[in-house]
Amino acid sequence: MATFGSRQNLFNRVWDEHTVRILPSGQTQLFIGWHLIHEVTSPQAFQMLRDRGLTVMYPERTLASVDHIIPTLNQARPFADGLAEQMMTAIERNCREFGIKLLNLDDEHQGIVHVAGPELGITQPGITLACGDSHTSTHGAFGCIAFGIGTSQVADVFASQTMAIGRPKVRRVEVSGRLSHGVYAKDATLHVIRKLGVEGGVGYAYEYAGDVFDRMNMEERMTVCNMSIEGGARCGYINPDQTTVDYLRDRPFSPKGQAFDRAAQWWLSRASGPNADFDDRVAFDGGEIEPTVTWGINPAQSVGVNEQIPSAGSYPAHKQGELREALAFMDFRENQPIKGTKIDVAFIGSCTNSRISDLREAAKVAKGHHVAKNVRALVVPGSQQVLAQAEKEGLHEIFKSAGFEWRAAGCSMCLAMNPDKLVGREICASSSNRNFKGRQGSPTGRTLLMSPAMVAAAAINGVVSDVREML
Amino acid sequence: MQTIESITARAIPLPLDDIDTDRIIPARYLRCVTFEGLGEHAFEDDRQQNAEHPFNQPQFQGAGILLAGRNFGCGSSREHAPQSLMRWGVKAIVGESFAEIFFGNCTANGIPCVCADPEALRQLGAAVTAAPKTELTVNLVNKTVTCGTRSFPISMQEGARQSLVTGNWDFLGQLVEVASQTREVAQRLPYMNSFA
Ligand code: SF4
């Protein structure tokens, strides 16, 4: 491989290749290979273009999907929610006017933008990608450098196919060994965030490396990179390997025939070599990771399922206020076991964990059981492709006969911009990525993050459970 | 573009860590196609749940400088968060640290996010709590925040600071200037040519 012996890591290699110039501010003007957009953060950006009489520079490198506000029950237009309908109309009109392909509800590839992009083969190693959504870090699973951006930057990328950004440092996060049975990619990423903190990654891009990530399939890698942002990192990535190349073969946007072989060779040559330099390194032992559950109001406030919620005494002084605030909001006590916590709602979905392998794992747990009385349980596939595949495999029947609702593709209860919401003080076992106050639609609603299999186990038992006892 | 060298205004203290963008502007207010009207919903849920929330208190209405804690603005990339603060009246934020996308969004809207150490923030918070009419000055040129006779050092990512003080915080104009150079970079990338 060309890069063997090179000290340059993937991040810096890709960054240099995409640098247009250094701006007077000292930031880099970085070329963006693919721009993904959705209905929530794009309308104001299109307006900025209109206000200045600008156009989209590379409409053919821009793809739109609708996901955040999509109802998952009744998708007849106009939507019952007038504001959601207005946003739909806006993205339809904007995409038409600026010549951008839109994965609308009638498109078999519509779905959460971070599920649909990779499925289509748009996300490839060695490219840069941006999207007006913080979980754009998901695409890093392919060794793609992917940034979540704000609306002003969406306008920047529209007009110039570049963005202004300061160069982050690169930290290698190594997880060695093997995850034990019943421990998933979600647990690994929650564990890393727990150990490094929600601001541990500020100023860094994360390179995830080591046996645990090497062994993962692409969907698991996406789960890990997805939550880089929860750890404060600007982006996260995993070096491309044969798993990456195999995934990309025969996708709609993948190169075909001999071009694919040339592509594969180039992709693999992007990877950090064994002598690559990093600004920082941390290491964890995968064998020590347990099924992990959050108990608080940020994603680092988590414990292993058999551990207790921490006591104030075990917390550093400057974090104690935060701990008390979280306990008060959650109505939990210090030293309370997390296992056995009663739940009201179970949500399997979101760009973290709504792919086919997630649904397969959850279905394995649900099969032959029934959702506990008084628990409302939802399965929301991440895309229409996932939905179709799941139905082909009969997973929807397993879920439905276990008492789960089977819904149409979208973001749904991950942030509840559509009708799927928590009510009042409900507690939700959720496979999503954020447990912030009010995140799931009720200002006082409570979220416990965990893997999809753990959500299924909680749904069946009505309480937070150790999924390993059900496998 | 307007140069932003210093901001003088009354301040509002919000000394909490890890304030996420869902709290600054809850997702239900993102159902919109313009940023208009977001100001009145800043911290909506926190304000509902806590009558004592600084954003509810009459003495802090009209404040222009927000005193924050660590990792302010973590969470989503929604520019609705700085937009709602800006429309509420915030012109500058002094905190211990900021989440990066939030920081970039603020800069793009001409709102400096500057860092001060926890002790400075504590003293500033105490001063404005005791006398809410006190005006603070955030000065990006000599890198200080002053409160009466007291002055504390502030720091800010140099690129962002430069762009604000020189009036170059509208990146769009600069980025489109070099379209031909951008196309050259694209030309060199094998994937932009379908690996032909
Ligand atoms: S699933 Fe949740 S985190 Fe992912 S893009 Fe949708 S709202 Fe954002």
Per-residue pLDDT of chain A (471 residues; tens, 9 = 90+): 444 568 999 999 999 999 999 998 889 999 999 999 999 999 999 999 999 999 999 999 999 999 999 999 999 999 999 999 999 999 999 999 999 999 999 999 999 999 999 999 999 999 999 999 999 999 999 999 999 999 999 999 999 999 999 999 999 999 999 999 999 999 999 999 999 999 999 999 999 999 999 999 999 999 999 999 999 999 999 999 999 999 999 999 999 999 999 999 999 999 999 999 999 999 999 999 999 999 999 999 999 999 999 998 888 888 888 899 999 999 999 999 999 999 999 999 999 999 999 999 999 999 999 999 999 999 999 999 999 999 999 999 999 999 999 999 999 999 999 999 999 999 999 999 999 999 999 999 999 999 999 999 999 999 999 999 999
State the nearest Cα–Cα gap between A150 and chain B, in angstroms: 5
Query: A355 CA distance to ligand 1 centroid (A)?
Result: 13
Q: Supply the pTM of this predicted model.
A: 0.96
A248 and A318 assigned to the same domain: no
Rg (CA), chain B: 19
Q: Which is nearest to A297 in space by CA: B23, B127, B90?
A: B23
Which chain A residues are Cβ-neighbours of B168 within 8 angstroms? Answer: 24-25
A441 and A464 assigned to the same domain: yes
Domain boundary among A240, A271, A290: A290
A234 and A253 assigned to the same domain: yes
A298 and A269 assigned to the same domain: no
Q: What structural domains does chain B harbor?
A: 6-168 (3.20.19.10)
Instruction: Answer whether B117 touches A (CB < 8 Å).
Output: no
| Tens of pLDDT, residues A426-464 | 999 999 999 999 999 999 999 999 999 999 999 999 999
A367 and A282 assigned to the same domain: no
Instruction: Answer whether A439 touches B (CB < 8 Å).
Output: yes
Mean pLDDT over all residues of chain B? 96
Identify from A18, A20, A267 which residue to disrupt to test chain B contact, counting B C-beta atoms within 10 A and taking the largest count: A20
Atom number in ligand 1 closest to CA A38: 5
- Residue A91's domain comprises 1-290
Which chain B residues are Cβ-neighbours of A139 within 8 angstroms? Answer: none
Instruction: Answer whether A269 touches B (CB < 8 Å).
Output: no
A257 and A296 assigned to the same domain: no
User: Which of A432, A435, A449 has most ligand 1 atoms within 8 Å of its beta carbon, as the pocket-test mutant?
Assistant: A432
Q: Say if CB A465 and CB A454 are below 8 A apart.
A: yes
Task: Quote the ipTM score.
Answer: 0.94
A175 and A263 assigned to the same domain: yes
CB atoms within 10 A of CB A352: 32
pLDDT at site A47: 97
Three-class DSSP category at B158: helix
Of B70, B171, B192, the CB nearest to A33: B192
What CATH number is attached to the domain comprising A12? 3.30.499.10
Instruction: Answer whether B3 touches A (CB < 8 Å).
Output: no
Per-residue pLDDT of chain B (196 residues; tens, 9 = 90+): 899 999 999 999 999 999 999 999 999 999 999 999 999 999 999 999 999 999 999 999 999 999 999 999 999 999 999 999 999 999 999 999 999 999 999 999 999 999 999 999 999 999 999 999 999 999 999 999 999 999 999 999 998 999 999 998 989 999 999 999 999 999 999 999 999 9
CB atoms within 10 A of CB A102: 18
A325 and A203 assigned to the same domain: no
Classify residue A274 as left (phi > 0), alpha (psi -120 to 50) or beta: alpha
Three-class DSSP category at A5: coil
Q: Say if CB A302 and CB A292 are below 8 A apart.
A: yes
pLDDT at site A317: 85
Say yes or no for a CB contact (<8 Å) between A259 and B77.
no
A143 and A266 assigned to the same domain: yes
| Tens of pLDDT, residues A255-272 | 999 999 999 999 999 999
Phi, psi values for residue B110, rounded to 5°: 75, 25
Q: Say if CB A18 and CB A126 are below 8 A apart.
A: no
Three-class DSSP category at A322: helix
Q: Which residues pair with A101 in a beta bridge?
A: A63
Overall number of domains in chain A: 2
Classify residue A335 as left (phi > 0), alpha (psi -120 to 50) or beta: left
Domain boundary among A230, A258, A290: A290
Q: Which residues pair with A29 in a beta bridge?
A: A21, A164
pLDDT at site A6: 86
Q: How far apart are CA A175 and CA A231, in angstroms?
A: 15
Three-class DSSP category at B7: strand
Domain boundary among A270, A290, A310: A290
Say yes or no for a CB contact (<8 Å) between A41 and B78.
yes
A252 and A110 assigned to the same domain: yes
State the nearest Cα–Cα gap between A367 and chain B, in angstroms: 34
Query: A315 CA distance to ligand 1 centroid (A)?
Result: 31
Phi, psi values for residue A28, rounded to 5°: -95, 140
Taken as a whole, chain B contains a residue count of 196
A379 and A457 assigned to the same domain: yes
A157 and A173 assigned to the same domain: yes
CA distances (Å), origin A127, targets A61, A264, A266, A319: 12, 13, 11, 39
